[in-house]
Structure 1
Amino acid sequence: MAASPASPTATAAVPGHRSAPPAAGAGALLVVGFVLMSLNTRVAFGQIGPLAPVAGFSPAMVSLLGLLPPLCMGAFAPLAAVVRRRLGEERGLWWASLVLVAGAVLRMLSMPGLFAGTVVVSAATAVVNVLIPVLVRKRFPRERVGAMMGLYALSMGAGSALVAAMVVPVAQAAGSWQPAIGLAIVPAVLAAAGPTPQLRHRPARPAPVAAGTERAGRPHVARTGLAWSLTAFFGVQTLAFYTTLAWLPSILVQAGLDRGAAGTGQALLICGVAAGGFAAPVLAAKRTDQRPHILATILICAAGFTGLLLAPTGTAMLWVVVLGIGLGAGQALPGVLYAHRGSDHDHVTALSTMAQTGGFLLAATGPVLASALHSATGAWTAPLAALTATLLICTATSMRAGHDPK
Structure 2
Amino acid sequence: MDLAFSEEDKAFQREVRDWIAEHYDADLRKQMSQSKNGYLDKAGQVKWQKLLAARGWAAPNWPVEHGGPGFTSSQAYIYNMEMSLAGAPRSSPMGLTMVAPVIMAFGSDEQKKQHLPPILQSDIWWCQGYSEPGSGSDLASLSMKAERDGDDYVLNGSKIWTTHAQWADWMFCLVRTDASGKPQQGISFLLLRMDTPGVSVKPLPTLDGPADGQQEINQVFFDNVRVPVSNRIGEEGKGWTYAKYLLEFERGNAFAPALMHALKKVRTIASAEFGDGGEPLIGDRDFQRKLAEMEIQVATLNATELRIFSAMGSGEPVGPASSMLKCAGSETQQAITELALEAVGNYAAPFVQDTWSATNEPRPGPDHAGPAAPAYFNYRKASIYAGSNEIQRNIMAKLVLGL
The TM-score with structure 2 as length reference comes to 0.30
Relative CO higher for 1 or 2, CA cutoff 8 Å, sep ≥ 6?
A: 1
Q: Which has the higher helix share?
A: 1
Q: Which has the higher strand share?
A: 2
- Larger gyration radius, structure 1 or structure 2: 2
